[in-house]
Structure 1
């Protein structure tokens, strides 16, 4: 009897299910304020990471082209 109740419950649930339609409220050609704020925040993070990356690349280039005598520790 318990299996029949379970099956009837599943059939009733499946029978009352309807399809979902996508909302048509937002237009794709006009982003909102939050989108611009998120993009600005991401740009600030990327710009902040460029400074240490540039310093690392410049240091690596200097180390590659440095004379061997300059690379030794003076002491």
Structure 2
């Protein structure tokens, strides 16, 4: 979990450091509809990413966790 936190923190820092590189570009300004569209796409990506991460952590937990041996035979 600490490794995931370190990776997320470093990605945020790198993203913030890249912002001034784009500040020097001059061009047409994007309209509000463009930003709304990009925000909507971002919500879709995050909405798909959260369940995938939860399922991935569940699979890793299931593989690395202890297993109860339920293979003994029942005498009825």
TM-score, with structure 2 as normaliser: 0.49
TM-score, with structure 1 as normaliser: 0.50
Higher relative contact order (CA 8 A, sep 6+): 1
Higher alpha-carbon Rg: 1
